[in-house]
Structure 1
Amino acid sequence: MNYMKTGMLLAALTALFGVVGYFIGGATGLVIALLVAGGMNLFSYWNADKLALAAYNAQQVDERTAPELVGMVRELAVRAGLPMPRVYIIDNPQPNAFATGRNPENAAVAATTGLIRMLSREELAGVMAHELAHIKNHDTLTMTVTATIAGAISTIAQFGFFFGGSHRENSGGFGVIGTILMVILAPIAAMIIQMAVSRSREYVADRQGAEICGNPLWLSAALAKIAQGVDHIPNEEAETHPATAHMFIVNPLSGRSMDNLFSTHPATENRIAALDQLARSMGATPAREASFIGGARRTAGPWGGAGRPRGPWGRGPWG
């Protein structure tokens, strides 16, 4: 059902782009708009991961510079049936993470230093598993396409305001009013559709990420900490590049994201509730598990036993 919803939203976004192009230049405008969209998507397909990582000055790490983080991602990738993605660390105090790449063979995951320092090993595994779920579902490509088309709609709508639609001369004042409404409403509609696509994919990635790491409560505990961190620690790079907000596991622009039309992510409390319900269905209860997640009583699992220290998981400038 979520895949069908995502497909319908992408179709709606493409149709909106065509309508804007037709409004500006008739059939010719429609063709030009679609050609421009195709060119932008082709460029994004090959370069979106590089652009996103460069925007945050992400540094690639390996087993030598961040052995525990890379080892964790490698084991999770095996559990998810994915090729090993490139691993990056972003020197930023806000706890957050994202995945990018056009396909699983050319994917990357990035975590901030704030995330690595704040979370326990189990919680960090939950976050990385969530990002791998996005890669497995090709969400990174889907969100690149939606962001590109939504941005193009805003640009072409502004273009239409200055150069006018093909029917303005024959429509009198209504043509002018219609152009103004298009400039205002088309980008808003595109933003709503883009955000709806993003929200629909987050719930799926939460569930599949929980299955990959083996414990939904690791991810739910991580989400609670990340939301609290985002609420108190600004991310200047994200403020400079707000179009990338949908990539992160929690909206880096605000820690109070509402589950409505204008949010890039579902409300964190709704995501936590869904994960807690999943945990109960798997035989774990949040009250029992909360006592050891990130706390003194640490049980053994795929990523270490009770004696393992908290992060940072690596050496060098990120440690």
Structure 2
Amino acid sequence: MKKWYRDYGLQARMVLTMLLLAGLYLIFLVVLSEYGGIGTYGLMVFAGFFLLIQFFFSDKFALWSMGGRIVSEQEEPRLHETVSRLCAIADLPKPKIAIVDSNIPNAFATGRSKDSAVVAVTTSLKQKLSQPELEAVLAHELSHVKNRDMLVITIASFLSTVAFFLVRNMLFFGMGGGNRDRDRGAGAAIIVFVISLAVWIISFLLIRALSRYREFAADRGSAVITGQPKHLASALMTISGVMERVPSRDLREVEGMNAFFIIPAISGDLIMNLFSTHPTVGARIRALEDMERKMEF
């Protein structure tokens, strides 16, 4: 196994983001404890159950939503051989491999652990990329598995989901019960609503930032596994160029999977980087070029 490349600046940003999330959620729990009622705790239990279902069945849901299917070694011998070789280098158990019949060149990894992971590629990706580029993309997805990104993002998003449910519950069902309860609890309800809304918005932005850092980490993992950062940079440019020619209707159909993709499928002409799950392609390529220069010495 090759020595895993450590980018301490990137790791520091990820740790800082997690600490900010932890601090935000601690404040949120204090407010709920002080002003929330029994219904609030029930809502938290419901949100926890919802996220557990998402966590344990995310791989099946992701494949189902994309129309992907698990393929055997007999069906895709070259793909299986490539993944097996990369897993040996990365010291990973071999994941299941899936193919998605799509004209959008992309790949994604899902699964709650290294032993239950699935790596999927689209038919368009196989057609558009050279073998070295395809290997670099597969190594990127395997890096997500090695870094346990599904676990990290699920944990980070737990109380954000609770806050979202609280906001929606209060908007649609009101903030109080009878007249007496309403008069007595209006102030507490407003506090919970405002704090929940703030937690939801701030955590949404922090989780997006965390997701972008994880993409940089997976890019670096790909460079370590393959030893060739330029191949992933080339693959990103190829995928990005093809994506621009894909009809907007096709992109909109898979936008819900953007957090999983190596490059998000975006139907609009402009997206604010602040809300994106991924860094810009240009930023990722510059980081890979920097790694290429460091590896030369």
Tell me which interval the TM-score lies in, with the shorter structure as reference length.
0.7 to 0.9
Contact conserved, 2:106 with 2:261, CA < 8 A, in 1? yes
Deviates more, 1:8-17 or 1:157-166: 8-17
Give runs of aligned pairs for residues 87-236 of structure 1, distance below 5 A: 87-146=97-156, 150-165=160-175, 169-170=183-184, 187-234=200-247
1:281 aligns with 2:291: no
Amino acid at match of 2:150: T
Contact conserved, 1:130 with 1:208, CA < 8 A, in 2? yes
| 1:160 positional shift | 1.1
| 1:27 positional shift | 4.4
- Structure 2, unaligned stretches of length 5 or more? 1-11
- For residues 235 and 16 of structure 1, what CA distance do their matches in structure 2 show? 41
Residue equivalent to 1:55: 65
| CA deviation string 1:116-148 (max 9, x = no partner) | 111110011110000000000100222344456
Q: How many residues align?
A: 282
- Structure 1, unaligned stretches of length 5 or more? 285-319
CA RMSD of aligned residues (A): 3.1
Residue equivalent to 2:4: none
| 1:45 positional shift | 2.4
1:267 aligns with 2:280: yes
| 1:267 positional shift | 0.9
Residue equivalent to 1:7: 18
1:106–1:233 distance in 2 versus 1, CA, 3 Å: same
Contact conserved, 2:107 with 2:121, CA < 8 A, in 1? yes
- For residues 183 and 161 of structure 2, what CA distance do their matches in structure 1 show? 28
1:185–1:7 distance in 2 versus 1, CA, 3 Å: closer
Deviates more, 1:226-235 or 1:204-213: 226-235
Residue equivalent to 2:7: none
Taking only the aligned residue pairs, the percentage that are identical comes to: 35
| 1:187 positional shift | 4.2
Contact conserved, 1:165 with 1:175, CA < 8 A, in 2? no
| 1:225 positional shift | 1.2
2:80 to 67, 70, 77: 70
Higher share in helix: 2
TM-score normalised by structure 1 residue count: 0.76
